[in-house]
Amino acid sequence: MGKLADRIREGFEPSLERGEELRSVGQVSSGPMSAVPAMLLMALTAYVLFLVLFGFSDVAIVFAAPFSVFVGLMGHRLFVKYWYVGITQRRAIFVRLTASSKPDENTRFATPLKNVALSDKGLTVISPVGDTPQGFRFYFGARRATGLDVDEFKEALTTGSGAEDAPPRGARVSGAEETRSGRSATGSSADQEPVKLPGALKPLLAAADEAYAAWLDGSDDFFREAQLSDAQDRIASALIAFVDGATAAGMSHADVAQTLRNRFQRISGESFFEDILADGGPAVGPMAGEAEATTKVTTAPVAARLKAKTDEHYVLNCVECGFSHSIPSDRVDGALDWSVDVDEVKMTCLYGGVFTVSLGVKDFFGITTAPASGQVLHASIGENMKALHGHMLSHCDPLFLSIRQSPNQTRHEYKRGPVDEPYVRFSKDSGIDVVGSIDVSKAEIPGVSG
């Protein structure tokens, strides 16, 4: 494996940009079917044609077997193309191999890591340019015959795609200077988008990208169509929540639909996909029939502006003074599942059934219930964090925010004293310290996340 990997590295290194380094390399394939089915199809076809042409005599049958094997090995390239791929901290680089297994420099292309979705079976270029392939497969014998260490490859893709979003370990971050996207908080960057989408939406797109890669894998391979239904369900679950969240953040439904059609081109026009876009997201502002409850529209991280309509809602009461803050009671609103753990004084949002964000404030607040009062309450971790953060800092300086992350959740918990890494330390005098490895794009951090 090492020799082939070394050759691939040597081929890519001359094209690397300054400061760019190869983190993983290997060989993948593209085409309407994977290598083994293509070989079998060509071999079987050659076997039948040989016997039809030369008869079914014993001699013909003897010679038909090696002939069909040869045709299968050589002819399968009509359906399968092989590529070298290299992963750096910023992009994925591809170059196709010729029939003699030599890199064809005329086919070389590169794409940012954020434009690459990874699945267990391969990777997908989300928005391909021109006639470049969209789906690439890991194939049988990857660890030995392709120079590709799958675990190393996946780690390179995962860590590289988030490297530009997260601050370095132990870095001091000024909340007035930095936002999640790396642009100034004043929005002066020339490439700033008209609407800044909440960070909580990024995991939903990542989940949709992964399911989309599985859908492409199943649709392109005649032998794996059974996985399409599961992939469609996963795409729908993630994108319904994304549409809700993006429209609630102020993005028009037409813009959301066009963005998703551009990102997921192969399923644009598919009935299940168009149904997702046709449903749209909730209107910005209060829920239907509740316009009299408020005259001010605010933006929550994910689609949820909820007026307490049940018999009661929850109230967080400061343990040191008379400050209180109301939050919604448990409810499900479209793709958002909001719940409150009374014992732990913890709020939890489950977005689209795929990503969970929670906030614990037990060190600072108790919790009670109160009758419905007509307030506009937010089933949103970010909005409630903004309302509580300053008050907690007024009682406890420095203030610590413990953050624990996994692929499908981010847990936040405010603490009075030092905690294990990773965490964020807030101080009125010394600002904000981000300590440890935190994917800021999937966390809510006052003064950092925007």
Reported as a single tens digit per residue, the pLDDT across 226-265 is 667 778 878 887 888 788 777 777 778 888 888 888 788 7
Class of domain 2-34+80-161 as given by CATH: mainly beta
> DSSP letters along 23-87, please?
EEEEEEEESSS-HHHHHHHHHHHHHHHHHHHH-S-HHHHHHHHHHHHHHHHHHGGGT-EEEEEEE
Q: How far is CA 190 from the centre of its chain?
A: 25
Find the range with the poorest average confidence among 114-118, 216-220, 362-366, 401-405: 216-220
Q: Where are the beta strands (DSSP E) in 151-302?
A: 172-173
Question: So what's the pLDDT on residue 424?
Answer: 93
Orientation of helix 202-220 relative to helix 228-248, angle to 10°: 150
* Predicted confidence (pLDDT) at residue 307 exceeds the cutoff of 80: no
* Predicted confidence (pLDDT) at residue 385 exceeds the cutoff of 90: yes
User: How many angstroms separate the CA atoms of 136 and 146, rounded?
Assistant: 13
pTM for this model (two decimals)? 0.40
| Span(s) in the chain for CATH 2.30.29 | 2-34+80-161
Q: What is the CA radius of gyration of the chain?
A: 27
Residue 374 CB-density burial (10 A; 0-12 exposed, 13-18 middle, 19+ buried): exposed
Mean pLDDT for the stretch of residues 147-157: 74
